[in-house]
Amino acid sequence: MGNDFHKAITLRHLRVIAALADLKLVARVSEALNVTQPAISKQIAELEKIVGVPVVTRDRNRLYLTPIGMRLADHAKLTLGQLDRAAFDIEAMASGVSGSVSIGVVASVAPTLLPGAISLFKRSTPQASISVIEGHFVELLPQLEAGSLDLLIARIWQPQEIPGIDQMALFSEPVVVVSARAHPLAKKEELTWQDTAALPWILPQAHSVARGAVDALFAANGLAPPNNTIASLSLALNLELLQVMPALGLMPQRLAQAHSARGEIVTLPLDTKGLLSEARCFWRRDKTVQNSALSLFLKCLQQTTDEI
């Protein structure tokens, strides 16, 4: 293959194999890429001729990638992602955006989403400034509506329209129950919510959207909300509390996995039923016209969530 492969493969081939990995059906790939189904079949045939072996197997109307096809799809996604990032960087730098963006964010989203988005934003427009404050949705929303915040990022329970506010779904990620490794429940393979009812819990602030969702989760499991609680938004404090007392807490899955890998906590086998799994961002409808830095940061968020 070698140089012949480099010369023969095109962006069309890469887009087709990447889309096939996700969508499986030629009809869906055709719709997603806005090309005809015969054109998709032609691209697959060309790919197989270039590679020299089958990249798909067919079962009725579905296509499945062979092991070589899956590896090629992985490389295609990486390549297309790098090209998209390059195009974004060049467009952002050429735009000459300046100004500032003020962001309000809930603590459970900030570590997962903001580092990548802020890094991309600052690399694209070094002259623009950015400020971040943490809080919960109920206290941050009035600041957004008043204009003191440009953007609000939060986990949402029961999404609804807000007059004058635009919103965009960012990603979906489970929230899990965590404890210290030495916690008595950490050694159990099977748990029920009843097992946790009398234990101390580290929870979101009272009267917050997140706390309402937690209370509803306990109610759905036939239980009253915990009454032995600590309300804290501080990740650092919460991790320390888990080590010094037999408390339970809630944490986004990716963050829990990272701290679990360091030996700090474990995830307990409890079904949180989609609790606060969707993250969204909110901004005033008139702000994107007035603030080009906000428009750019929204694009950075989209780019970052695509990579997540």
164 contacts: CB under 8 Å, gap ≥ 6: 145, 284, 285, 286
Domains of the chain (ranges plus CATH)?
Answer: 2-92 (1.10.10.10), 96-173+278-307 (3.40.190.10), 175-267 (3.40.190.10)
pLDDT grade, residue 93 (50/70/90)?
low
Whether the predicted pLDDT of 226 surpasses 90: yes
Q: For the residues 69-88, what does the mean pLDDT come to? A: 80
Give the sign of the dihedral formed by CA 35, CA 36, CA 40, CA 45. Answer: negative
Among 30-34, 108-112, 214-218, name the most confident range: 214-218
Q: For the residues 16-32, what does the mean pLDDT come to? A: 85
Whether the predicted pLDDT of 271 surpasses 80: yes
Provide the percentage of residues in the chain whose pLDDT is more than 70: 92
Q: Looking at residue 85, what is its pLDDT?
A: 66
Q: How many angstroms separate the CA atoms of 176 and 253, rounded?
A: 6
Q: What does the DSSP 8-state code read for residue 24? A: -
Regarding predicted confidence, which is higher, 255 or 6?
A: 255
Q: For the residues 106-123, what does the mean pLDDT come to? A: 89
Q: Looking at residue 7, what is its pLDDT?
A: 60
Q: How many angstroms separate the CA atoms of 153 and 229, rounded?
A: 25
Regarding predicted confidence, which is higher, 32 or 284?
A: 284
Strand order in the sheet with 201-203: 229-231, 201-203, 248-252, 175-180, 265-267
Q: For the residues 182-193, what does the mean pLDDT come to? A: 91
- What 3-state DSSP class applies to 252? strand
Q: Which of 220, 214, 138 is nearest to 176 (CA)?
A: 214
- What 3-state DSSP class applies to 43? helix
Tens of pLDDT along 199-214? 999 999 888 888 999 9
Q: Looking at residue 102, what is its pLDDT?
A: 94
CB distance 15 to 76 below 8 Å: yes
Among 23-27, 125-129, 192-196, name the most confident range: 192-196
Q: Looking at residue 18, what is its pLDDT?
A: 87
Name the pTM for this structure. 0.68
Whether the predicted pLDDT of 125 surpasses 70: yes
Q: Looking at residue 225, what is its pLDDT?
A: 93
